[in-house]
Structure 1
Amino acid sequence: MTRRDCLLAALVAAVWGFNFVVIDWGMDGVPPLLFLALRFVLVVFPAIFLVRRPDVPWRTLAAVGTFMSIGQFGFLYVAMDAGMPPGLAALVLQAQVVFTIVIAAGVLREVPTSAQVAGVLLGVTGLVVVGLGRGGQVPAAALLLCLLGALSWGVGNVVSRAARVPGGLSLTVWSATVVPVPLLMLALVVDGPSAVADGLAAFGWQAALSTLYTAGLSSLVGYGIFNSLLARNPSAAVVPWVLLAPVVAMASAWLLLDQVPNGAEAGGGLLLVGGVLVALRSGRRPGGSGERSTEPRPGTVDGPPLVDTAPRRR
């Protein structure tokens, strides 16, 4: 990864880390799936009239929207509604790093380097340390739902990487078109029409500000950048950066929600940061330029896209 890509990845991690506190702050009184559906309505409109559809099949857009948006955030929002604290939710969701690298190795033949494996293992150790120090009071169902969200995110990352769409914003916007209606239907089934109606009535300025942040910064800006990074870098070089998000989430929860981190959380957070630094050492060439080589590497997919990207009629 180039230095510019590294800075962009760090920015995304910061935006996403603060996102967990914003979700927890804004979801009060609104059913989680309804809250998420309204978020993605704002992601789609009006951006869909300003951003050209990416030149990939609709099945690719549907797959990215299903796994990276409906699956990841659907499970996450329900988990947080079921009692998962924002800082710990950010931490558990980072199991997506392991899922992504394992799935990418099997599906895309992107074999991680030894430094990337070591960095991920160090980051996972940090996750375990924090989980052991904090997770005893978390409902088991909430923890399982959050892990399912991480798995769905990992699948979505690999689909996005395989698509190789140059403009990450276009993939973010157009994949979101398949999200609001299924989420609204799920909300009606899971919570019931009366709860959905009550949630719409309770949607005040606090929920509106939260939705603006999650839709504008987290989805449009964050995933626009993230999908662009996945399009031009191996998955194992990009996803370790997201391990920084729990550090930002826990710090934000400490400052804004008075959720003071204990020793395990502080130590685990340091291991997470160390894991990212170790994993990213392999992405720099000797000489310090930080530019990525254009030569295909053994065990990676640096050739033609794995999806049919021939021009299509719109």
Structure 2
Amino acid sequence: MPLKAMLMALSVAVIWGINMLTVKGAVAEIPPFMLTAIRFAAVAILLIPFTRVPRGRMGRLAIISVTFGSLHFGVLFFALSMIDAGPVAIIVLLGVPFSSMLATYFFNDRLGWKRLSGMSLAFVGVTIMFWDPTMTDLQLPLLLVVFAAFMWAVANVMIKKLGDIDTFQLNGWMALFATPQLLILSLAFEPGSVQAVFDASWVAWANLSFTVVMSSIVAYGFWYHLLKTQDVNAVVPWSLLAPVISVLGSFVVFDEAFSMLKIIGGIVVLCGVTVIMLRKPVQRKTQGMD
């Protein structure tokens, strides 16, 4: 990769790593569904004026807004309001093996024994983290993170089926559709969420601003540009730096406790995801194809 591309990839990893911490800080003051709704509303306001209407794709974008907006980000932010940022940053990596599993069905990809081994390692690592005594009372939020990771994989399949679409167009219109869903969830399950928004400190708003501008717009813009211009196998491994930054940052910023099972489980997950990312999927041959 050229130096410019490497710097862009590093920037994405750093932004995504810090983003987990900023979200954790923001949900301490603003309820998670309301926070996610505000995030998507801001993204829509910033991007839609500069994009064209995705004619013929509005229905599919609306469905993606449910999986990617409400069921991934909404659930992930909800889990972050109950659990430390470090474990979340690791467990959400299950989206990678989930994506591989879905690709075998929807895109005729063949996993191969090495990628299957990587998937197994990733799930074993998460299971080890579940065994940690400090996680005994946190099984529900941990399972919610696993669910959010699966919804990320589902959304990726749906986005790939959309075909070639501008990144800002995708993010902007998806955000517009997701905003009312999350507002309804907040009003239904988060009493006092509106007042919490008005009472939030400047720190919470700064954290939210970072999530909107740096993560949703800058990082994803860089990421999709890299995927289009560079070899995917050279780009994707850089994303593994993000959870490492999140875990170290959570220790420094939030003084989160570490245990041997958390460390071992996290390392096993990272190893498994690395194997999956570095193994290029091979498509099965079908009848009528050379």
Rounded Cα–Cα distance in structure 1 between residues aligned with 2:105 and 2:30: 40
Structure 1 17/120 Cα, relative in aligned 2: closer, same or farther at 3 Å? farther
How far does residue 245 in structure 1 lie from its aligned partner after superposition? 3.4
Judge conservation of contact 1:172–1:223 (CA < 8 Å) in 2.
Answer: no
Judge conservation of contact 1:165–1:171 (CA < 8 Å) in 2.
Answer: no
How far does residue 27 in structure 1 lie from its aligned partner after superposition? 2.0
Rounded Cα–Cα distance in structure 2 between residues aligned with 1:24 and 1:237: 30
How far does residue 77 in structure 1 lie from its aligned partner after superposition? 1.7
Q: Deviations over 1:57-79 (max 9, x none)?
A: 11222122221122111111222
Q: Deviations over 1:157-213 (max 9, x none)?
A: 111122233532321122111011111111111123xx0331122123112111111
* TM-score normalised to structure 1 length: 0.77
Structure 1 172/114 Cα, relative in aligned 2: closer, same or farther at 3 Å? farther
Q: Deviations over 1:108-146 (max 9, x none)?
A: 223334433333333333333334336524423222322
Paired letter, 1:104: A
Structure 1 155/6 Cα, relative in aligned 2: closer, same or farther at 3 Å? farther
Where does 1:61-76 land on structure 2 (aligned, <5 Å)? 61-76=61-76
How far does residue 34 in structure 1 lie from its aligned partner after superposition? 0.9
Rounded Cα–Cα distance in structure 1 between residues aligned with 2:155 and 2:26: 26
Structure 1 138/207 Cα, relative in aligned 2: closer, same or farther at 3 Å? same
Match for residue 252 of structure 2 among 248, 252, 255: 255
1:22 aligns with 2:26: no
Structure 1 105/7 Cα, relative in aligned 2: closer, same or farther at 3 Å? farther
Structure 1 unaligned spans of 5+: 284-295, 302-314
Structure 1 201/22 Cα, relative in aligned 2: closer, same or farther at 3 Å? same
**Corresponding residue for residue 60 of structure 1:** 60
Judge conservation of contact 2:91–2:126 (CA < 8 Å) in 1.
Answer: yes
Match for residue 283 of structure 2 among 298, 305, 310: 298
1:217 aligns with 2:202: no
Judge conservation of contact 2:43–2:216 (CA < 8 Å) in 1.
Answer: yes
Rounded Cα–Cα distance in structure 1 between residues aligned with 2:88 and 2:60: 28
- Relative contact order, higher structure (CA 8 A, sep 6+): 2
Rounded Cα–Cα distance in structure 1 between residues aligned with 2:255 and 2:236: 29
Rounded Cα–Cα distance in structure 2 between residues aligned with 1:163 and 1:235: 19
Rounded Cα–Cα distance in structure 1 between residues aligned with 2:259 and 2:30: 30
The more displaced of 127-136 and 256-265 is 127-136
Structure 1 2/279 Cα, relative in aligned 2: closer, same or farther at 3 Å? farther
Secondary structure of 1:30's partner? coil
Rounded Cα–Cα distance in structure 2 between residues aligned with 1:179 and 1:299: 36
* TM-score normalised to structure 2 length: 0.82
How far does residue 149 in structure 1 lie from its aligned partner after superposition? 1.4
Rounded Cα–Cα distance in structure 2 between residues aligned with 1:80 and 1:141: 12
Structure 1 186/68 Cα, relative in aligned 2: closer, same or farther at 3 Å? same
**Corresponding residue for residue 158 of structure 2:** 159
Paired letter, 1:247: V
Paired letter, 2:184: M
Rounded Cα–Cα distance in structure 2 between residues aligned with 1:234 and 1:135: 41
Judge conservation of contact 2:79–2:141 (CA < 8 Å) in 1.
Answer: yes
1:275 aligns with 2:272: yes
Rounded Cα–Cα distance in structure 1 between residues aligned with 2:239 and 2:141: 21
Rounded Cα–Cα distance in structure 2 between residues aligned with 1:88 and 1:156: 22
- Total equivalences in the alignment: 286
How far does residue 233 in structure 1 lie from its aligned partner after superposition? 9.6
Rounded Cα–Cα distance in structure 2 between residues aligned with 1:181 and 1:44: 12
Rounded Cα–Cα distance in structure 2 between residues aligned with 1:173 and 1:212: 16
**Corresponding residue for residue 33 of structure 1:** 33
1:168 aligns with 2:153: no
Q: Deviations over 1:32-55 (max 9, x none)?
A: 111111111111112211233456
Rounded Cα–Cα distance in structure 2 between residues aligned with 1:229 and 1:152: 23
Rounded Cα–Cα distance in structure 2 between residues aligned with 1:185 and 1:119: 39
Structure 1 186/277 Cα, relative in aligned 2: closer, same or farther at 3 Å? closer
Paired letter, 2:20: F
Between Structure 1 and Structure 2, the one with more helix by share is 2
Structure 2 unaligned spans of 5+: none
Where does 1:1-314 land on structure 2 (aligned, <5 Å)? 11-54=11-54, 57-81=57-81, 83-133=82-132, 136-192=135-191, 195-226=192-223, 242-283=239-280, 298-299=283-284
The CA RMSD measured in Å over matched residues stands at 3.4
